[in-house]
Structures are given as structure tokens and as C-alpha cells.
Amino acid sequence: MKLLRDTWLVYLRYLGLFIRNPAWVAIGVLQPVLYLILFAPLLKSISASPGFPRGGAYNVFVPGLLIQLGLFGAAGVGFSLISELRYGVVERLRVTPVSRLALLLGRALRDIMSLLIQSLILILLSLPFGLNIHLGGLLVMLALIALIGLFMASISYACALWLKSEDSFAPLIFTATLPVLLLSGVLLPLTLASEWLRRVAAANPLSYAVDAARAIFNDHMGDASVTKGVAIMAVLAVGAVAIAARNFGRAVS
């Protein structure tokens, strides 16, 4: 009960900051939109090639973009935390009886909300290009994005609390995210990949999220890959939350 109340209060603080500066939603959605306009048309010509999944270029590409949005959109949230560490905000909150888990969840909730708004914008913008999705699929997709957001935001906050400096945080987070992204088949399906690349990708949990997303957009909601992708991301999110919440409870020098 106290955890829920505290989470809500922390969420409201960051929601207030978000509302003061909603331009971030537009900036966040800009990159995937550029992919949509400048890169997706290239896929049309190869979508007929052997190995390319069924469903048309946009139903293959947009799910990947959504996963990418979840991953990169949440990867950078640690930057704001580093500036708060510098201003003493985290320290001040840690001296109150607020739940340490709430300090993380309240923030992550705001980040997830921002991601979901961006995802909806992206999906809406893709509809004219021929994207198909029904309500049930949309809801599962948003849940999957929320889990990826929670996972990635927690990792990002944990790293920020650990490194306490933008100079080391930025290279770490972006260097670590890029291979995860490339090995997940976000841009082009891994069915096009060679055998060794597919094996490496199989070890990347995010590739299961991408598989799940593509199955959802191909109207294969009952597909085992959907349950698998959601379950894997849920487990990862819980683990990341546990690590990050512990970091919030630890001494911040």
C-alpha cells in the first residue's frame, strides 16, 4: 500500500517535469519516423526475396521499429538521474521514509508512459503505409513495449547510479545497446541471416521480443513466440528492477 502510494507520488513528480517539456515525445518519435519514411521503402523491393517473412514490408518492419523505440527510448533515461544526483535530489529523497523501490518505479512508470505515447504515434503514422493491427494485438504489443521499457529504464538507472557521470554513462549505455539491437533482427528479419548470425541472435533475449512483435503484427496472437517473448521480457524486467532498486537504496556519495 505504502509502495503504491510512494510510487504514485514519485510518478507525479516526474510526470510534472514531463508535462513541462513534452517536446521530448516528438524528439523521441522522430528517429523511428525517419526510419519509416527513409528506410522502410527500401524493404518493399526485397520483401519478395526468399527468406523474407510474410505480411508485407511494413508489418515486418514496424514491429522492429517499436522494439527499437522501447530499447533506445529508455536507454537514455539515466542522464536525467545523473543530473539529479548532482543537484542532491536523490540524496534528499533517500533521507525521507519513501520506499526505495518506489523511487525507481515512479520514474520508470513515467518513462513507460512516454514510450507508449511515442509507440501509438508511430503506429498511427504507419497505418497509411499499409500497416494492419487489431485492438487485441495492439494491447499485447503495448504491454511488450512497457516491459522492454521497464527493463531498459531500470538498467539505465542502475548504471547511472553506479557511474554517476555522463562521460562514462553515455559510451557504456550506447555501446552496450547497439549489438543487442543489431542481433535482435530489428531492422531486417534474421531469417535473412546466415547460420552463425542466427545462432548468436538466439542468445539475445531481445530477438524473442522482436519475434513476438512480428507474430502479433502478422495476426498470429496464439503463436508460442508471443508468450515466449513476453515471458522473457517480464523475467528480465523483474531482474533489472531488483538490481536498480537496490542501487537506489545504497549509499550515494
Residues that bind another protein (rule: CB under 8 A) add up to a total of 25
Applying CB under 8 A, the span of 8-16, 24-32, 56-64, 211-219 interacting with another protein comes to 8-16
**Does residue 98 touch another protein according to CB under 8 A?**
yes
Q: How far is CA 150 from CA 21, 46, 239, 250, in A?
A: 21, 34, 10, 20
State which residue, 85 or 120, has the beta carbon closest to another protein: 85
Q: Which residues, 6 or more positions from 239, have their beta carbon under 8 angstroms from its beta carbon?
A: none
**Does residue 242 touch another protein according to CB under 8 A?**
no
Which contiguous run of DSSP H or E holds residue 128? none
Residue 95 Cβ vs another protein, minimum distance, rounded to whole Å: 4
**Does residue 127 touch another protein according to CB under 8 A?**
no
* Whole-angstrom distance, CA of residue 139 vs CA of residue 72: 21
Q: What is the DSSP string of 158-169?
A: HHHHHH--HHHH
DSSP letter at 188 equals S
Which amino acid type is present at position 243?
I
* Whole-angstrom distance, CA of residue 151 vs CA of residue 145: 10
Residue 201 Cβ vs another protein, minimum distance, rounded to whole Å: 40
- Please report how many Cα atoms fall inside a 13 Å half-sphere around the Cα of residue 235, on the Cβ side: 9
Q: Of residues 1, 23, 38, 95, which one binds another protein by CB under 8 A?
A: 95
* Whole-angstrom distance, CA of residue 112 vs CA of residue 118: 10
**Does residue 111 touch another protein according to CB under 8 A?**
no
Applying CB under 8 A, the span of 17-25, 37-45, 152-160, 165-173 interacting with another protein comes to 17-25
SS (H, E, C) 31-55: HHHHHHHHHHHHHHHHCCCCCCCCC
DSSP letter at 99 equals -
**Does residue 9 touch another protein according to CB under 8 A?**
yes
Residue 189 Cβ vs another protein, minimum distance, rounded to whole Å: 42
**Does residue 20 touch another protein according to CB under 8 A?**
yes
State which residue, 93 or 186, has the beta carbon closest to another protein: 93
Residues 170-209 that bind another protein (CB under 8 A): none
Cβ-contact 121, 208 below 8 angstroms: no
Q: Of residues 4, 17, 224, 242, which one binds another protein by CB under 8 A?
A: 17
Residues 50-89 that bind another protein (CB under 8 A): 83-84, 86-89
**Does residue 19 touch another protein according to CB under 8 A?**
no
**Does residue 12 touch another protein according to CB under 8 A?**
yes
Where on the chain is the footprint of another protein (CB under 8 A)? 6, 9, 12-13, 16-17, 20-21, 83-84, 86-89, 91-98, 251-253
